[in-house]
A and B are shown apart, each in its own frame.
Chain A
Amino acid sequence: MLAGSVRWLRLSSLAIVIVSGTMGLLLGGTVSPAKGAELKVYPSQVVLTPEFPSHQVVVVEEEQGRVLRDRTAEAHWTVSSDQVVRWEDGSKRLVALGNGEATLTATVGQQQAVLRVVVQGMDRPARWSFQRHVLPTLTRLGCNSGACHGALAGKGGLKLSLRGFDPNSDYFVLTRQALGRRLDLVRPEDSLLLKKATRQVPHGGGRRVVVGDDHYQLLLRWIAAGAPGPDPAETPIVRLEVLPKQLLLAPKQQARLLVRAYYQDGTVVDVTPWARFVSSHEPTAGVDDTGLVTSQAPGVAGIVVGFDTLVAVATVTVPFPPLSEEDQRRLQQAPRYNLVDVHIQRTLELLRLPPSPPCSDATFLRRVYLDLLGRLPTPEEAQDFLQTSQAQRPDKRQRLVDTLLERPEYVDYWSHKWSDLFLVSTRKLPEAAMWAYYRRIRRAVADNEPWDRFVRDLLTASGSNLHNGGGNYFVLHKDVSELAEATAVTFLGFAIGCAKCHNHPLEKWTQDDYWAFANLFAQVALKSGDRAAEVLVNDQPEGEALHPRRGIALRPRPLDGPPLPADYPSTRRHYFAQWLTAADNPYFAKAIVNRLWRHFMGRGLVEPDDDLRASNPPTHPELLDALAAELVKHNYDLKHIMRLILNSAAYQRDSQPLPANAADDRFYSRYYPRRLPAEVLLDAYADVTGVPTPFRFVKSAAGDALSATSSYPLGTRAVQIPDALVASYFLEAFGRPERMAVCSCERSSEASVTQALHLNNGQTLNDKLRDPNNVIARWLRQGKSDAEIIERLYWHALTRPPREHERQQCLALLANLPPGPDARREILEDLTWALLTSREFLFNH
């Protein structure tokens, strides 16, 4: 560990050197032309053909791969040969004239940038393509969107496939259906398609194109050319590129994006006019539907570009205002302990966000206990940790993390955590099965089983569900489609549910993808065992999940994976588990790493943390990649990732904001306080007051009846309870997940009036405060002094001593006791109530 730190220190000093170049530039205030910035033209090379005879171009000022300013508008443009291409200054694009090669030169002030152009094929007529021209146009115009003709039932008698996923059927529909009147090959402009789209005849969808515009012309030419159909020889799109990729803009700047499609046959074309543009964070930067970006306020926004089934992302960074010297020093001297900090620091520097200073040892102690063990440190544990200073023992925080990772409470808390993910509950499982399922998860945590091995074992579990508890995963999700959907969210972070009935309206998943995936689970067989609650999980040699619309079984195929080979020697589940946990699976490691990150840092690198689609970009993509790679490299040891996060400077920052980072809520310039989870809070109340919480009733699956249970003897902690149906108004009010669906959205950490009312007037806390055997009663019986009791209460609840003014106020209150035998005790109860409902207590900070 120590050697590791040294290595990282060296690396990070390198990072400082590199970045300080940028900083010097940024300190100038608005991002202005500066020494070191170079003029660059995008793209650098263009091939034009009769099919794609034009290409947009931008010229920018760039430094270290980041665009600082779009100079397209003011550049002076010249072409080397006006036989080959011409420059259209209005639309900022090159248009092909004749075969040959040429250059386009952009001049801004003294600087020039050059683009090479090749024009070919102009001596033959254009080959209009259904897939490359017509479908993208219909998609861009919205014709085949889910709200219009792409709806499952179509619209107004015209049904197209959603965003053109089924070219053959679309071609049939356009050319043959409706008595073939949608296209008029003789008088193309009379085609119903065009007349509807231009609203020359009534059209429920309104006017989508204007007669004569580019989209109209393209459709017209395609029809005039005889409306050629899908060409099976045409190769698919393999890559989507957005240019430029990185932009570093001051507020209220504009820059234009280009989008290029790479086809398998090597052709690269400008598809900007057909692409869709969406900003992931509009307060930072917006984008219009032509790809023009406008920066607004400091932050980072991903501009998500979609075309065909692919997505590409351009990142727009808008830095905060220049820093004071002090903040500048803070930023440059920020500690960097490991690889996490290298990535976090890079973004902080780009954004000019100075990090808050490191938190105190006491704060760190409370934080890491809550996050790793789900409980508060006892006063004894705190004093033990605090008595040595960091100067005496520089690695004391690392050692604490290492110790806590081996504690029994770690097993309780993380078994509880994963029980959320795996939906442990008696809602669908009989109690014996629920326990077996829970014990399997608990064993994995206790043994620190590598995540891939545990998941493989779970997904291929067979035999008795009481013996091999992992098999309950299949008892819980009996239905093939439920199984497919739960598996996709749990292990890949994908929501694919929509694709069950139709192509996913927000994502790339098609109905075919869904059913090919679901078919992987079609041969799982469940049989009743001999004992009550026993189910035998096995694989049978047959069974297919039929595609509901096409009525056929698709070859089993993981999402984005290769299909099951015909001669695969083992079960379909086995094939899936192998694909899922293979080291090169691009999603599996990321999904779990992102869940861990959110647990400790309060926000996922991708947020929500179980929505890892391409169109929902991470805040720190390189960090997510790096952590996923670390997990794979370290044999899927989750504790390794926990150590990386907990030992990072990013985790160990103070939560108190600086004026210059108060606006940050996603770049980790400080620790973000968050409310304790329901179960942790309830356990903390029991610990501080010394009064355990009784759990004596379980709700029925329908939630309408209670039955007594003796499974949880007094003293059982909320985080030790495997069953989400154990009755507790407190846990429900504070956002315990129901464990009905795999979704991190089930757990709520938001404060509400309901909770505040419960803490004020409800039984949970008040009963503990009044309990005759609670900690206050004990101390009073032992004859402890007011000062001593106050001191202890603060340490128990807040892991700190009372501040002097707090001590004085409390003592003053206790010195003037009102009449009554319980007056002293009541004041101490009320002080305890105040401590236990304070922000400082309710939040991990």
Chain B
Amino acid sequence: MLRIDAERGVRFCDGWTRRDFLHVGALAPLGLTLAGYHRLRAAELLSQQSTKDKKDINCILLFLVGGPSQLDTFDPKPNAPEEVRGPFRPIATNVPGIFISEIFPKTARHADKFAIIRSIYHTATAVHDTGHQMMQTGRLFTGGVEHPHMGCVLGYLRGGRGELPAHVVVPRPIGRTGGNLPHGHTAGYLGRAYDPFILNADPNDPHFRVPDLLPPDYLGQVRAHRRQRLREMVDGATAAFEGSVAARQLDESFHQAFRLMSSARARAAFALNQEPVKLRDRYGRTRFGQSCLLARRLVEAGVRFVTVNMFETVFDEVTWDIHGSRPFTDIQQMAREVAPNFDTAFSALLEDLHDRGLLETTMVLAVGEFGRTPKINPAGGRDHHPGVWSILVAGGPLRGGQVIGESDALAYAPKTRPVTPAEFAATVYKGLGLDPHQELPGPQNRPLPLVDYNVKPIEELF
């Protein structure tokens, strides 16, 4: 079993130690600032561990919380009855024969870069939470077992690059969506040490910064070091916490915080204001748009997996959850606000990654937790429908410009090549260069494969 960073104390993957931290302070009189020193170290590192290494694939998962309607997005059915096909017409994309809904004109210009999976479905209870679990972990949570997010699995197996966390959730984890179940954004049974770093701030805020990333001026290196040492002294005084998962989580949080604080590279990665205004505008001045831009910055800096949650909840917010009645969204609101927001940010992300040569080494996945009922309901909306929906996958080794699977005439059920969330996860794992059947130490240390042995990746994508 490969455990890259199991049970180590304060750990610096690049060989950094706390002595270096102090050492940097000593360098300052020589005109080398901490930031400069870090830049040197970071450059050294990147030469060894490139984010453009073709075998070392990154991933940006855009979670379209609420569950986009397959009919109104990427699986239009112009020949279906009016109450099914909905108000929008299909438009051509830059790939002949592939049509998507007219409310995504910018996305349509990049169909060569992504593949549409039109036959994904699940059979669990039709609440948001189950879909969140399955699309982020490949599994439904049963029997009190919480499975790890794919990004946490990646972090567990490969570790972080340098002092950057392996998996970052932007801007916040998915909150209340009605089912009162976990959403699958954590490391689950792998343990708290592999949980993602959660940004907890809105990248679209004009004063955006990672809260408290920088020490106040009056706390120099000497004091910071002294504080850590004294804290270790106090913590060493009692053994009451040996069996406590919560205490281990606290320790890990402090270690991670210290790593982040000490890293110029990490600070630079989050400095969204260093991006040109034009590019920021291109992504769209929305929480989601700027989150996508931040995701690119993070991947560029060395983060392996970024999960961008488009929304935090489906209540009293305009989302993809188009039931049609309050506190939810209706179809027109979705078309007016949600679709352009996605269209702008997603197309910008693909373009930007492509321009920087990062798309080859970075998968981009845009997925919801389920589809919507084909027949428009009396409130003018569509309800939950896990029977079939559509997702977009791009980048890394995945071949774009194609459609995988079809739904039936009413976009009700898969017609050909049905795809399960587990197969989606297997595909992501394969894309990341992992063996989907390699085993993790599961609950009670029972070996558990990343996905079940009979589940295969979607080979057409490779």
A506-B125 contact in complex given A670-B243, A839-B241, C-beta closer than 8 Å: yes
Q: Per-residue 0/1 for B5-16: is the Cβ within 8 Å of any A Cβ (1 yes, 0 no)?
A: 000000000000
Tell whether B216 is near chain A: CB-to-CB under 8 Å.
yes
User: How many residues belonging to A are interface residues under a CB distance threshold of 8 Å?
Assistant: 87
Q: Given the complex, which residues of A lie within 8 Å of B80, measured CB to CB? A: none
Tell whether A770 is near chain B: CB-to-CB under 8 Å.
yes
From 129 to 168 in chain A, residues with beta carbon under 8 angstroms from any chain B beta carbon are 142, 145-148, 151-153, 155-156
Contact of B227 among A661, A834, A843 (CB under 8 A): A834
Q: Given the complex, which residues of B lie within 8 Å of A444, measured CB to CB? A: none
Tell whether A283 is near chain B: CB-to-CB under 8 Å.
yes
Interface segment among B109-117, B230-238, B291-299, B300-308: the answer is: B230-238
Tell whether A309 is near chain B: CB-to-CB under 8 Å.
no
Quick check: B412 and A753 within 8 Å, CB to CB? no
From 732 to 769 in chain A, residues with beta carbon under 8 angstroms from any chain B beta carbon are 733, 740-741, 743, 745, 749-758, 760-763, 766
Bound together, the chains give a CA A489 to CA B387 distance in angstroms of 31
Q: Which residue of B lies closest to A504 (CB)?
A: B125
Contact of B145 among A282, A661, A805 (CB under 8 A): A282
Q: Per-residue 0/1 for A682-716: is the Cβ within 8 Å of any B Cβ (1 yes, 0 no)?
A: 00000000000000000000000000000000000
Bound together, the chains give a CA A740 to CA B231 distance in angstroms of 37
Tell whether A803 is near chain B: CB-to-CB under 8 Å.
yes
Tell whether A281 is near chain B: CB-to-CB under 8 Å.
yes
Quick check: A204 and B414 within 8 Å, CB to CB? yes
From 395 to 451 in chain B, residues with beta carbon under 8 angstroms from any chain A beta carbon are 408, 412-414, 443-444, 446
Tell whether B200 is near chain A: CB-to-CB under 8 Å.
yes
A282-B142 contact in complex given A743-B180, A831-B230, A845-B241, C-beta closer than 8 Å: yes
Contact of B413 among A153, A204, A805 (CB under 8 A): A204
Contact of B239 among A152, A656, A842 (CB under 8 A): A656
Quick check: B413 and A147 within 8 Å, CB to CB? no
Quick check: B244 and A673 within 8 Å, CB to CB? yes
Quick check: B243 and A282 within 8 Å, CB to CB? no
Quick check: A753 and B197 within 8 Å, CB to CB? yes
Quick check: A760 and B125 within 8 Å, CB to CB? no
Tell whether A338 is near chain B: CB-to-CB under 8 Å.
no
Q: Which residue of B lies closest to A826 (CB)?
A: B223
Bound together, the chains give a CA A205 to CA B386 distance in angstroms of 12
A840-B235 contact in complex given A204-B414, A655-B240, C-beta closer than 8 Å: yes
Tell whether B30 is near chain A: CB-to-CB under 8 Å.
no
Q: Given the complex, which residues of B lie within 8 Å of A608, measured CB to CB? A: 180
CB of A204 to closest CB in B, whole Å: 4
Q: Which residue of B lies closest to A841 (CB)?
A: B234
Q: Which residue of B lies closest to A752 (CB)?
A: B253
Q: Which residue of A lies closest to B242 (CB)?
A: A657
Q: Per-residue 0/1 for B240-262: is the Cβ within 8 Å of any A Cβ (1 yes, 0 no)?
A: 11111111011111101110110
Bound together, the chains give a CA A463 to CA B443 distance in angstroms of 55
Quick check: A673 and B210 within 8 Å, CB to CB? no
Tell whether B285 is near chain A: CB-to-CB under 8 Å.
no
Contact of B247 among A280, A754, A843 (CB under 8 A): A843
Q: Is the interface of B mostly helix, strand, loop or mixed?
A: loop
Quick check: A279 and B123 within 8 Å, CB to CB? no
Q: Given the complex, which residues of A lie within 8 Å of B261, measured CB to CB? A: 757, 760-761
Tell whether B207 is near chain A: CB-to-CB under 8 Å.
no
Quick check: A498 and B127 within 8 Å, CB to CB? yes
User: How many residues belonging to B are interface residues under a CB distance threshold of 8 Å?
Assistant: 72
Tell whether A838 is near chain B: CB-to-CB under 8 Å.
yes
A147-B125 contact in complex given A283-B446, A497-B178, C-beta closer than 8 Å: yes
Q: Given the complex, which residues of A lie within 8 Å of B237, measured CB to CB? A: 803, 806, 840
Quick check: B211 and A757 within 8 Å, CB to CB? yes
Quick check: A755 and B143 within 8 Å, CB to CB? no
Contact of B240 among A673, A806, A809 (CB under 8 A): A673
CB of A345 to closest CB in B, whole Å: 20
Tell whether B375 is near chain A: CB-to-CB under 8 Å.
yes
Tell whether B46 is near chain A: CB-to-CB under 8 Å.
no
Q: Given the complex, which residues of B lie within 8 Å of A835, measured CB to CB? A: 234
Contact of A760 among B127, B215, B218, B235 (CB under 8 A): B215
A830-B223 contact in complex given A286-B143, A838-B234, C-beta closer than 8 Å: yes
A750-B246 contact in complex given A733-B211, A755-B253, C-beta closer than 8 Å: yes
Tell whether B213 is near chain A: CB-to-CB under 8 Å.
yes
Tell whether B198 is near chain A: CB-to-CB under 8 Å.
yes
Contact of A842 among B223, B224, B250 (CB under 8 A): B250
Quick check: B246 and A155 within 8 Å, CB to CB? no
Q: Which residue of B lies closest to A204 (CB)?
A: B413
Quick check: A674 and B238 within 8 Å, CB to CB? no
Quick check: A729 and B235 within 8 Å, CB to CB? no
Quick check: A297 and B124 within 8 Å, CB to CB? no
Q: Which of A151, A654, A663, A805 has the most CB of B within 10 A?
A: A151
Quick check: B246 and A674 within 8 Å, CB to CB? yes
Q: Which residue of A lies closest to B259 (CB)?
A: A753
Quick check: A280 and B143 within 8 Å, CB to CB? yes
Quick check: B256 and A753 within 8 Å, CB to CB? yes
Tell whether B126 is near chain A: CB-to-CB under 8 Å.
yes
Contact of B230 among A749, A830, A840 (CB under 8 A): A830
Q: Which of B233, B237, B243, B375 has the most CB of A within 10 A?
A: B243
Tell whether A675 is near chain B: CB-to-CB under 8 Å.
yes
Contact of A753 among B142, B253, B387 (CB under 8 A): B253
Quick check: B385 and A839 within 8 Å, CB to CB? no
Tell whether A665 is near chain B: CB-to-CB under 8 Å.
yes
Quick check: A729 and B211 within 8 Å, CB to CB? yes
Tell whether A505 is near chain B: CB-to-CB under 8 Å.
yes
Quick check: B180 and A757 within 8 Å, CB to CB? no
Tell whether B2 is near chain A: CB-to-CB under 8 Å.
no
Tell whether B212 is near chain A: CB-to-CB under 8 Å.
yes
Contact of A204 among B197, B231, B238, B408 (CB under 8 A): B408
CB of B161 to closest CB in A, whole Å: 17
CB of B192 to closest CB in A, whole Å: 8
Contact of A752 among B198, B231, B233 (CB under 8 A): B198
Tell whether B214 is near chain A: CB-to-CB under 8 Å.
yes
Bound together, the chains give a CA A155 to CA B371 distance in angstroms of 14
Tell whether B176 is near chain A: CB-to-CB under 8 Å.
yes
From 787 to 845 in chain A, residues with beta carbon under 8 angstroms from any chain B beta carbon are 798, 803, 805-806, 809-810, 813, 818, 826-827, 830-831, 833-835, 837-843, 845
Quick check: B176 and A741 within 8 Å, CB to CB? yes
Q: Per-residue 0/1 for A598-619: is the Cβ within 8 Å of any B Cβ (1 yes, 0 no)?
A: 0000000000100100000000
Q: Which residue of B lies closest to A767 (CB)?
A: B216
Tell whether B226 is near chain A: CB-to-CB under 8 Å.
yes
Q: Given the complex, which residues of B lie within 8 Å of A497, measured CB to CB? A: 178
Tell whether B219 is near chain A: CB-to-CB under 8 Å.
yes
Quick check: A611 and B180 within 8 Å, CB to CB? yes
Contact of A297 among B215, B375, B412, B444 (CB under 8 A): B444
Q: Which residue of A lies closest to B382 (CB)?
A: A153
Bound together, the chains give a CA A654 to CA B241 distance in angstroms of 11
Q: Given the complex, which residues of B lie within 8 Å of A827, measured CB to CB? A: 226
Quick check: A147 and B387 within 8 Å, CB to CB? yes
Q: List 27 A-B contacts (CB under 8 A).
A: A147-B125, A147-B387, A155-B413, A156-B412, A204-B413, A279-B143, A282-B443, A296-B446, A505-B125, A654-B240, A656-B240, A661-B243, A729-B211, A750-B192, A751-B250, A751-B253, A753-B256, A755-B253, A756-B257, A760-B227, A760-B257, A806-B234, A809-B233, A827-B226, A839-B251, A840-B234, A845-B241
CB-CB nearest 9 A-B residue pairs: A282-B143, A834-B230, A756-B257, A204-B413, A657-B243, A751-B250, A283-B443, A757-B212, A838-B234
Name A residues whose Cβ lies closer than 8 Å to a Cβ of B. Answer: 142, 145-148, 151-153, 155-156, 204-205, 278-283, 286, 296-297, 301, 495, 497-498, 505-506, 608, 611, 654-657, 661-663, 665, 670, 672-675, 729, 733, 740-741, 743, 745, 749-758, 760-763, 766, 770, 798, 803, 805-806, 809-810, 813, 818, 826-827, 830-831, 833-835, 837-843, 845
Known: A146-B125, A155-B413, A833-B231. 15 other contacts (CB 8 A): A278-B143, A282-B145, A297-B444, A297-B446, A505-B125, A743-B176, A752-B198, A756-B253, A758-B212, A760-B224, A761-B219, A762-B212, A840-B234, A840-B237, A843-B244
